[in-house]
Amino acid sequence: MAIRKLLALSRRPLLLSGRSASTAAALASHDAAELSTSPASPPVMHYDRLVQAVRSKIRSLDDPDPRFLRYASPHPALADHTSILAAPETRVTTLSNGLRIATESTLAARTATVGVWIDAGSRFETEDTNGTAHFLEHMIFKGTESRTVRQLEEEIENMGGHLNAYTTREQTTYYANVLDKDVPKALEILADILQNSRFDEKQIERERNVILREMEEVEGQTEEVIFDHLHATAFQHTSLGRTILGPAQNIKTITKEHLRKYISSHYTSPRMVISAAGAVKHDDIVEQVKKLFMKLSDNPTTTTQLIETEPAIFTGSEVRIIDDDIPLAKFAVAFSGASWTDPDSIALMVMQSMLGSWNKNAHGGKHAGSELTQRIAINDIAESMMAFNTNYKDTGLFGVYAVAKPDCLDDLAYAIMGEISKLSYRVSEADVTRARNQLKSSVQLHMDGTSPVAEDIGRQLLTYGRRIPVTELFARIDAVDANTVKRVANRFIFDQDVALAAMGPIQGLPDYNWFRRHTYLLRY
């Protein structure tokens, strides 16, 4: 009986100085914690608070808001492109003088594009003649021995056609879009302007002012200026670093003799491709070209031989133009890329798709497949961003161009370099598959029309020596996997020099050494 009474008393709540048992337990645990710890920790210093703030910012960039990432792009799947690979055959004929004729016939088409693609551009000029290729592009439409300017323009407009031209650093193109029945006439006009242009002195003087005004317009396009400066600093002291338009002093001094000499030395049949796409017949084009293009020089000097005498050497460097009158800061950071024929050029194209592009005006981006786009869109640290991959005969440029507010440059640079460097370490197969699908789709979408097809034929014959079938191109794209991306990134990105061009209120943009340090990651 005494034992039962003692047990009953033990089950009653124990009161200590008017406190409940739970309060007592809490005090006991607090006392035990104080006894088990070391002496009181020192107060948090100002520097420690700064470190914590920086770490918090880094975590917010590395781990974006999960509310958005929860609905990010779904896991991509390999796409079957069998139905769109039945492309028409590209037929190529090489004449005895080295002139190549390439066509792609589309029976259902009622229009056609025919043009001349020339392996010549601003890269093959000297410092004194820089700008001649572009000047010649203007002068080629200013009349021939048999046609005045007015006759030439009326002839093109009366047939409802469009005659156009453009000059790049390595190629010059003249092409016409016409109806199927006007293809022979368009080809005859192209042959006339390329072989029989008069280069009247009055027209030359008039075009000087036109090109100088064009230069002023280009200088107002910040993106064009940024990429010109990027080439100038990346390939400094080489011909690839010069602009296409050339300096104003050269434009004022180019003469008729300069133009004729440039044509005789660069507009040669081995360096030219006649390309046609749409409602054309290959045999008819070949027969007409044999009759029309008889005055071309057959100088065997190739662009490869010219490049060997003055190769483009990449130099890690930067150019910064501080201009507080511009509201937004714009910059491009680039690595030395691959040439057209480099085996890794396709992998760089996939990597460009992985980085992606984004514009604030287009909305979206928070659910994009590109992690760089997600970081920029979620944290609102840029106005626009674009990854680029430019190929040349012996080199290239791979990087990112971005536009941002001045107070966002630090975070934006951190995000860009972090995602670029991550390609050397951590790449998922899902991201690569998504990028491959996007690249293949963009290739197909770009080929919508006779002009892009004719351009693709002409460019590939000048760069590869042949037209790469879509089936082969897709097979090479599908061969790129996560391991390939990491290998190529370690070749072109990991611990490699960068070229940087920036303009605007860029005081907040990190310095060159910061960008160079962020080409690799320190992992412990």
Domain residue ranges of the chain, discontinuous segments joined by +: 94-304, 315-517
What is the band of 167 on the pLDDT scale with cuts at 50, 70, 90? very high
Common-topology check for domains 94-304 and 315-517: yes
Q: Is the pLDDT of residue 455 over 70?
A: yes
pLDDT digits (tens, 9 = 90+) for 52-74: 776 776 666 555 555 544 545 55
The mean of the pLDDT values for the chain is: 86
The CATH code of domain 94-304 reads 3.30.830.10
Q: Is the pLDDT of residue 478 over 70?
A: yes
Q: Is the pLDDT of residue 7 over 80?
A: no
pLDDT digits (tens, 9 = 90+) for 349-404: 999 999 999 998 877 777 888 899 999 999 999 999 999 999 999 999 999 999 99
What residues form DSSP beta bridges with 387? 400
What is the band of 31 on the pLDDT scale with cuts at 50, 70, 90? very low
Catalytic residue among 137, 318, 371, 419: 137
What is the band of 471 on the pLDDT scale with cuts at 50, 70, 90? confident
* Mean pLDDT (whole number) for 247-276: 92
* Mean pLDDT (whole number) for 452-481: 93
In this predicted structure, which of 186-190, 360-364, 406-410, 463-467 has the lowest mean pLDDT? 360-364
Contacts by residues 128-131 (CB-CB < 8 Å, ≥ 24 positions apart): 128/250, 129/250, 129/254, 129/258, 129/262, 130/242, 130/243, 130/246, 130/247, 130/250, 131/211, 131/243, 131/244, 131/245, 131/246, 131/247, 131/250, 131/251, 131/254
Looking at per-residue pLDDT, the higher value among 230 and 31 belongs to: 230
- Burial of 309: CB neighbours in 10 Å, binned 0-12, 13-18, 19+: exposed
Distance set, CA 92 to CA 17, 267, 386 (Å): 104, 20, 36
* Mean pLDDT (whole number) for 303-311: 80
pLDDT digits (tens, 9 = 90+) for 485-509: 999 999 999 999 999 999 999 999 9
Closest CA relative to residue 389, chosen from 488, 462, 262:
488
Buried b (16+ CB within 10 A) or exposed e, 502-516: bbbbbebbbebeebb
* Mean pLDDT (whole number) for 452-462: 95
What is the band of 134 on the pLDDT scale with cuts at 50, 70, 90? very high
Q: Is the pLDDT of residue 41 over 60?
A: no
Q: Is the pLDDT of residue 27 over 60?
A: no
Q: Is the pLDDT of residue 25 over 60?
A: no
* Mean pLDDT (whole number) for 28-38: 45
Is 137 catalytic? The answer is: yes
Q: Given this model, what pLDDT does residue 64 score?
A: 55
Q: Given this model, what pLDDT does residue 40 score?
A: 52
Looking at per-residue pLDDT, the higher value among 213 and 4 belongs to: 213
Q: Is the pLDDT of residue 229 over 90?
A: yes
* Mean pLDDT (whole number) for 88-114: 92
What is the band of 86 on the pLDDT scale with cuts at 50, 70, 90? low
Reading the block at residue 45, the tokens are 């210093």
Q: Is the pLDDT of residue 28 over 70?
A: no
Catalytic residue among 104, 125, 170, 207: 207
Choosing among 3.30.43.10, 3.30.830.10, 1.10.357.10, 1.10.3470.10, the CATH entry for 315-517 is 3.30.830.10
Is 207 catalytic? The answer is: yes
- What is the pTM for the complete model shown? 0.82
Q: Given this model, what pLDDT does residue 309 score?
A: 75
* Mean pLDDT (whole number) for 320-345: 95
Q: Given this model, what pLDDT does residue 44 score?
A: 60
